[in-house]
Amino acid sequence: HDYSQRRFFWSRISMPQRLSLGFLTVITVGALLLMLPISYVGGRDHTFMDALFTATSAASVTGLTVVDTATHWTTFGQTIIMILIEIGALGFMSFSVLLFTATRRQMDLRSKMMVQEVYNLQSLYDTRAVFGYVIKLSIAIQFIGTILLAPFFIHDFGWGRGAFYAIFHAISAFGNSGFSILPKNTAEYVNQPFVLAIIAALVIAGSLGFLVWRDVLLYQKTHRLTLHSKLALVMTGALIIGGWLLFELTERNLAFASGLSPVMRVFDTLFMSISYRTAGFTQFDVGGLGSATILLTMMLMYIGGTPGSTAGGIKTTTLGVLILQTHAALRGKKDVTFAHRRLTQENIMRALLLVCVSLVFLGILSFMLMLTQSHAANHGLEYVIFEVVSAFATAGLTLGLTPHLTTFGQLVIMLAMFIGRVGIYTVMFSILNVHDEAAPYRYPEESVIIG
């Protein structure tokens, strides 16, 4: 009876609305907790917008900040931020999976698109098993990360702070959040390959997504990978290596690498390639890098990680499908194939549409900020566009605009982070709340000329 009442309540609210509302609730509770006097360092100028922005950035694992995470917040406040990151990385998706099992009704097309956006649910029957698996695997990886990071941080900051730093950065790195409570982000470890390597490994682990992990770990038993995992792994590898080589090229003049040995420089460029695309940890001031580097970084952030992971962006698989479709069209092939499988038309259409819609969205948000934010004369358009792309892709790098945003500007960036994490379709479906329509009749076909 209690159960059926709950079911009735949930059935009144659509799946996309549940997800958006649940996420909003997490952010609001987080912001209220960050308003507590024990959360921030006394004597500071502290507004509710600061707390709300930080909670949104943490729960969406973006990493853009209007106040300095290391000095503005107390250990209690930093713990709240850490928990918001963990909820954003794992809880939010699992929550939606659980909600789905509770209702168990047939999914319509809309819900299918939306659930695909947050989680792989090819077989919906083992949802609870998947949920348990996600939590266990994530905590295991984060635990290993903490143990590996601890010696370095304890050496530098003592037992108490060192241990806390290790936990915080393991969670932050696996969650691809980019939040750091080190005084200078990861800049002080620019010459410490081990710390950078551990963080990079955690970032990759988080950005691959649970389905890929499950596939890889079960490979011994199943001897097969899904098409999704194959494409995601190939694209992730190509993006890391391609980004690495291109960063080597764009920063070949060594302007950023003064004081670095040649080996460490190559290692730092690799770290940039891994971290900039999804996590947003940086050893350098991004604004000091060359214009080609900034353009490349924007492109990598826009692409982002793999679906069902802690990373944002349009996703590696979307880019993969786009490349495969282009290749097929240029070769005069009707079938778009990869690894002896044919991609569905619906799949391809969805990928292409996502690119187009997200770009229109980014264009509109950038336009709104350019109209309203005071614009230093020595900054180009990228000063605004970079920040919007970074927020939408939940990457979290900045050219410096975010701390100077007006309240309206903060709301725009928060909207970008929110939509970037929840998914552009999910948010739109939440607002529109429409259902699949069976058309009473179909119009005759006709083409227009394209391009």
Residues in 246-285 at the binding interface with a copy of itself, rule: CB under 8 A: 249-250
- Alpha-carbon span 52 to 230, nearest angstrom: 39
Binds 179, which of a copy of itself, K ion, none (CB < 5 to 8 A, cut-off by type)? Answer: none
Cβ closer to K ion: 115 or 196?
196
41 binds a copy of itself (CB under 8 A): no
By CB under 8 A, residue 378 contacts a copy of itself: yes
Q: Does 335 bind a copy of itself (CB under 8 A)?
A: yes
Residue 226 in the binding site for a copy of itself (CB under 8 A): yes
Does the protein bind a copy of itself through residue 340 (CB under 8 A)? yes
d(CA 145, CA 162): 14
The stretch among 162-170, 270-278, 337-345, 403-411 that binds a copy of itself (CB under 8 A) is 337-345
Q: Give the separation between CA 318 and CA 353, rounded to whole angstroms.
A: 10
* Residue among 77 and 396 whose Cβ is closer to K ion: 396
Among 20, 78, 366, 410, binds a copy of itself (CB under 8 A): 366
Using CA atoms in the order 396, 397, 400, 405, what is the torsion angle rounded to 10 degrees? Answer: -20
Cβ contacts of 271 within 8 Å, gap of 6 or more: 196, 199, 200, 281, 283
DSSP one-letter code for 402: G
332 part of the interface to a copy of itself, by CB under 8 A: yes
DSSP state, residue 107: P
Distance in Å, CB of 156 to a copy of itself, minimum: 37
Minimal distance, residue 441 CB to a copy of itself, in Å: 10
Please report the DSSP string for 214-262 in residue order. HHHHTHHHH----HHHHHHHHHHHHHHHHHHHHHHHHTTT-GGGTT--H
Distance CA 325, CA 348 (A): 7
Q: In whole angstroms, how close is the CB of 402 to K ion at the nearest point?
A: 13
Provide the binding-site residues for K ion, judged by CB under 5 A: 63, 178, 280, 396
Three-state secondary-structure class, residue 337: strand
Task: Give the range of 22-30, 138-146, 194-202, 318-326 binding a copy of itself by CB under 8 A.
Answer: 318-326
Site for a copy of itself in 380-419 (CB under 8 A): 380-385
Residue 278, number of CB atoms within 10 A of its CB? 33
Please pick, from the candidates 155, 263, 330, 440, the single residue that binds a copy of itself as defined by CB under 8 A: 330
Among 183, 222, 295, 408, binds a copy of itself (CB under 8 A): 295
Looking at the Cβ atoms of 282 and 373, the one nearer to K ion is 282
- Whichever of 258 and 447 has its CB closer to a copy of itself, that residue is 447
Q: Does 299 bind a copy of itself (CB under 8 A)?
A: yes
Q: Does 440 bind a copy of itself (CB under 8 A)?
A: no
Q: Give the rounded distance of the alpha carbon of 149 from its chain centre.
A: 23
CB of 331 to a copy of itself, least distance (A): 5
Which of a copy of itself, K ion, none has residue 123 at its interface (CB below 5 to 8 Å by kind)? none
Exposed/middle/buried for residue 99 (C-beta within 10 Å: 0-12, 13-18, 19+): middle
Write out the two tokens for 117.
């956006």
Residues 137-196 that bind a copy of itself (CB under 8 A): none
- Residue 107 touches a copy of itself, criterion: CB under 8 A: no
Residue 313: which region, alpha, beta or left (left: phi > 0; alpha: psi -120 to 50)?
A: left
Is 355 a binder of a copy of itself (CB under 8 A)? yes
223 binds a copy of itself (CB under 8 A): no
Is the CB of residue 106 less than 8 Å from the CB of residue 22? Answer: no
* AA identity, residue 404: H
433's CB contacts (< 8 A; 6+ apart) are: 14, 16, 17
Nearer to a copy of itself, 141 or 354 (CB): 354
Both structure tokens of 327:
């290749």
Q: Which of 25, 222, 337, 406 binds a copy of itself (CB under 8 A)?
A: 337
432 part of the interface to a copy of itself, by CB under 8 A: yes
CA distance 99 to 27: 19
**Residue 421 contacts a copy of itself per CB under 8 A:** no
105 part of the interface to a copy of itself, by CB under 8 A:
no
Would you give the distance in Å from CA 310 to the centre of its chain?
A: 5
- Partner from K ion, a copy of itself, none binding residue 446, C-beta < 5-8 Å depending on class: a copy of itself
Residue 73 DSSP SS3: strand
Measured from the CB atom, is 166 or 391 closer to a copy of itself?
391
How far apart are CB 340 and K ion at their closest, in Å?
35
Q: Which of 243, 305, 396, 423 binds a copy of itself (CB under 8 A)?
A: 423
Cα 366 to the chain's mean position, in Å?
19
User: Any contact of residue 234 with a copy of itself (CB under 8 A)?
Assistant: no
